[in-house]
Amino acid sequence: MLDSIQKRLEELPSRPGVYLMKDAAGKIIYVGKAKVLAHRVRSYFDGRPKAGHRAAMLMLPYIRDIEWIVTDTEQEAFILEANLIRKHKPHYNVRLKDDKHYPYIAIDFKDPFPRLFLSRHASHRYRCYGPFPSSKAFRSLVDISARLFQMRECKLVFPLPKPQRPCLNFHIGRCMAPCANLCTQEEYAKSVTEMVQILEGKRDDLLTQWTREMQEASANLDFESAAKKRDAIEALQATSTNQKADTTDTTLKLDVVAVRRNGNLATAVIFEYRKGVISGRRHYQLECDQEQDESEILCETLLKWYEGEELIPNEIAISNPIPEEDRLQIEEDLAELTTHKVSLSVPQRGERVQFMKLALANAEMLLVEAQSEVKHFDEVDQSVYDLQRELGLAKTPFRIECVDISHLAGTHTVASLVAFKNGRPDKKNYRKFIIKSVSGIDDFASMREVMTRRLRRLEAEGVPMPDLWVCDGGKGQVDATMQILRELGHDRDLPLIGLAKRLEEIVFPDDRKSIVLHRTSAALKLLQNARDEAHRFAITYQRSKRKEDLRVAWLDLPGIGDETRIKILSKYRSREDFLKAPVGDIQDLFGKKRGLTIREKVEKYDSKAEMF
């Protein structure tokens, strides 16, 4: 442990607050809250494994400074932590993405004749219900509002300057026509109130109310009104806007929380059961850069999901078990957000298992939807995990780097470094190197210079080492590269492999036998892409350097391009040699007419040069 870190740990106060972990560049890489700062922060450095908190183990080598903000209460710390995470987006925190692309159903009660409309985000200006997984549910509810409650679907802004002629919806019984003053505001408000009961999951209450009204109308011999109520009851019973819970406990108050993850993308669903009915659903999309599993995601984010919630149930069912210490702490924190105790549990039997299966199925569905929306999320991403499995790597190779050396007969020696992130080229981290300390053909010395410059730069900037270094070559090249890594002190923290071209054989620096993957393997294609991209980038850069050297003054003339310069300079080293050459040789090189034209241009340039 660094002396500076040890000193900071001794200075930690025994008060609630928020702590910020920083790397060598002073960048915040993690934000956390604590009931007692001293206890929480020191636990990161006690040497014990951190079950349920993989990020703690991964970020530990990069922590160079610790700062903290003291708060009066843990609740203040919780709010401050959430704000700091949103502001700084630390690398090792699970990042909650906004789900505003899912639609809400909204009603503006400031409108004298409200209508249902779709909103892509919740707003305090109007009452919102949802969000819903698609606009299909929204359209279904709008249809019910018109068919059963005769709420308007138009976008007219009330009050109107003068009454209008009723539209078709009025004539087919789908609107009360408030635009034509054919209903009062009180009559319309009654329909809106009943529609709100549907949106709030009080379908059974509304059915009971309508049944009572139907019976009263029948008793008063108002058979027309009774028949309308009967038809409305049958229509409402036929709808599937609410999903009945298969439960025998009509007083059940329970939240079911399910999490599903694939790679660095995860989704979470919260089903809210009230009085035996799913009365609400929330869902979240998360980014998990450190591949936190479902249990770790619950530990880090469960409390955030209940921030600002008015009603927290006594019982929350979770899809994955979490460590006992974390469970007790979260239960205590949740209890402070409400007025009663809250228990977390993983359903084992009975009705709650069925509830969890339903929530997990929804989380899985949303995860597939989220994956399809992520740019370039295809088989290449999966190849990263295939590569980890095939090579037996302890860490997933999200960041892969590959170097290639290029020269022309020992001249114009350059190197290229390409980076792949999450299985795709990360071109903003491509690098070019001009070899400065090597003359002639010496690929080993050139590689030593490149690796030294690259790794020392990463150390100075406090950037983590790549997850995998790919060497273009067989056993000899791999062993030589490993010797360089030993000299630089990175033979243990930087995995290395080689890819031999002849059989596309994967070679290891230790005693492991080399392996040959199937030619259709996604893992093999990822390595081939990295190697070929490094070769392309090096060749392109080397050619550009060669072209710069071809810019000699006596050939920098109109009508003489790069290809012509290469042909001339490959045979004639100077202007004098070219002009002394027999005309026949030049004509053999370029053709009779073009050869004479080029010679005349060089002669004219030469005469001009002699004039000065």
Instruction: Give CA–CA dist 612/609, Å, rounded.
Output: 6
Q: Is the peptide bond before 163 cis (omega within 30 degrees of 0)?
A: no
List phi, psi (to 5°) of 97.
Answer: -95, 145
> What is the pLDDT at residue 277?
61
412 and 549 Cβ atoms separated by less than 8 Å: yes
Whether the predicted pLDDT of 528 surpasses 90: yes
- The mean pLDDT of 467-495, rounded to a whole number, is 90
Highest-pLDDT range among 125-134, 271-280, 285-294, 465-474: 465-474
> What is the pLDDT at residue 57?
72
> What is the pLDDT at residue 53?
65
- Residues 6 or more apart in contact with residue 274 via CB below 8 angstroms: 201, 252, 253, 280
**Number of separate helices (H) and strands (E) present in the chain:** 20, 20
Whether the predicted pLDDT of 572 surpasses 50: yes
Whether the predicted pLDDT of 536 surpasses 70: yes
Q: 174-207: buried (b, 16+ CB within 10 Å) or exposed (e) per residue?
A: bbbbbbeeebeeeebeebbebbbebbbbbbeebe
- The mean pLDDT of 186-212, rounded to a whole number, is 82
> What is the pLDDT at residue 101?
46
Nearest Cα neighbor of 417 from 407, 405, 409, 408 is 405
> What is the pLDDT at residue 353?
87
Highest-pLDDT range among 379-383, 442-446, 540-544: 442-446
> What is the pLDDT at residue 343?
92
> What is the pLDDT at residue 242?
39
Instruction: Give CA–CA dist 462/465, Å, rounded.
Output: 9
Instruction: Give CA–CA dist 610/212, Å, rounded.
Output: 114
How does residue 44 score in pLDDT terms, banded at 50, 70 and 90? confident
Between 19 and 579, name the one with better pLDDT.
Answer: 19
Instruction: Give CA–CA dist 218/214, Å, rounded.
Output: 6
> What is the pLDDT at residue 83?
66
Whether the predicted pLDDT of 530 surpasses 90: yes
Dihedral of CA 484/474/458/95: which sign? negative
Whether the predicted pLDDT of 317 surpasses 90: yes
> What is the pLDDT at residue 482?
92
**High-pLDDT (> 90) share of the chain, %:** 16
pLDDT in tens, 319-354: 999 988 888 988 988 888 888 899 999 999 888 888
Whether the predicted pLDDT of 607 surpasses 60: no
> What is the pLDDT at residue 376?
44
Whether the predicted pLDDT of 474 surpasses 60: yes
Between 183 and 385, name the one with better pLDDT.
Answer: 183
Whether the predicted pLDDT of 558 surpasses 80: no
- Residues 6 or more apart in contact with residue 226 via CB below 8 angstroms: 214, 215, 217, 218
- The mean pLDDT of 526-555, rounded to a whole number, is 81
**High-pLDDT (> 70) share of the chain, %:** 83
90 and 83 Cβ atoms separated by less than 8 Å: no
Instruction: Enter the DSSP assignment of 252.
Output: -
How does residue 568 score in pLDDT terms, banded at 50, 70 and 90? confident
Instruction: Give CA–CA dist 151/195, Å, rounded.
Output: 9
> What is the pLDDT at residue 69?
77
pLDDT in tens, 587-600: 888 888 888 888 88
> What is the pLDDT at residue 377?
38
> What is the pLDDT at residue 100?
41
Per-residue HEC secondary structure of 305-362 comes to: HCCCCCCCCCEEEECCCCCHHHHHHHHHHHHHHCCCCCEEECCCCCHHHHHHHHHHHH
Range name among 75-79, 435-439, 458-462, 464-468 with the lowest pLDDT average: 75-79
Range name among 180-184, 380-384, 541-545, 606-610 with the lowest pLDDT average: 606-610
Whether the predicted pLDDT of 498 surpasses 90: yes
- The mean pLDDT of 508-526, rounded to a whole number, is 89
Range name among 189-193, 482-486, 553-557 with the lowest pLDDT average: 553-557
What is the average pLDDT score of the chain? 81
pLDDT in tens, 83-124: 678 777 888 876 655 444 456 678 888 889 998 887 766 566
Whether the predicted pLDDT of 71 surpasses 80: no
